């Protein structure tokens, strides 16, 4: 047998060369590195940009994936109900103080003129209190009429809810 010569060649890499040359990640298994996961996360700015783009596509009401859901979740997070209770208590106190100021102004005018004006602030409060439900009902019917008007005049809007809150209450 004739002797055959085979040359074996071995490439050796330093640690720096090895990392640059050989891919050691497990991309076939779907495992992502921490830096890749961080890059794929949505930032707060990106979230609000997407929210603005999708605003009219999000349903107004629903147990999940709706504006109602967002309001409820955010409300729980910031203790919105507790804040509403505090606001309502402060409004009642303001109304009471305004009534007291009106009473004092009436008494002051009556004292200065020496004549009775015959104004009963309690009856005024009752009359104003009776107006509140009818004002809310009017605001609701106005919003419904505006919604129907928008549906009739904008059929291509794909049922986008563009009514404005006219009740004076905001969230």
| 81-104 confidence digits (pLDDT tens) | 788 888 889 998 998 898 889 888
Integer Cα distance of 106 and 143 in angstroms: 39
| pLDDT tens digits for range 17-70 | 888 887 776 666 667 777 877 778 888 888 899 989 999 999 999 888 899 898
Radius of gyration, CA atoms only, the chain:
35
pTM above 0.85, yes or no: no
**Distance between CA atoms of residues 72 and 85, nearest Å:** 16
* Residue in this structure with the two tokens 């999708």, named with its chain if needed: 54
Domain borders along the chain are 33-78, 79-121
């Amino acid at each position: 047998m004739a002797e055959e010569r085979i040359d074996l060649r071995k490439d050796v890499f330093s640690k720096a060369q090895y990392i640059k040359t050989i891919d050691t990640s497990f991309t076939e298994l779907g495992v992502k590195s921490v830096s890749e996961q961080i890059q794929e996360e949505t930032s707060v700015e990106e979230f609000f940009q997407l929210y603005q783009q999708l605003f009219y596509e999000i349903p107004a009401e629903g147990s999940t994936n709706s504006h109602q859901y967002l309001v409820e979740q955010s409300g729980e997070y910031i203790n919105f109900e507790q804040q509403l209770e505090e606001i309502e208590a402060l409004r009642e106190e303001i109304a009471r103080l305004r009534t007291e100021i009106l009473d004092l102004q009436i008494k002051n005018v009556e004292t200065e003129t020496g004549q009775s004006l015959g104004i009963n602030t309690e009856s005024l409060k009752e009359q104003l209190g009776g107006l509140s439900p009818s004002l809310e009902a009017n605001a609701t019917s106005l919003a419904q009429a505006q919604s129907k008007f928008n549906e009739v005049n904008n059929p291509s809007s794909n049922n986008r809810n563009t009514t404005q809150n006219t009740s004076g209450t905001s969230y």
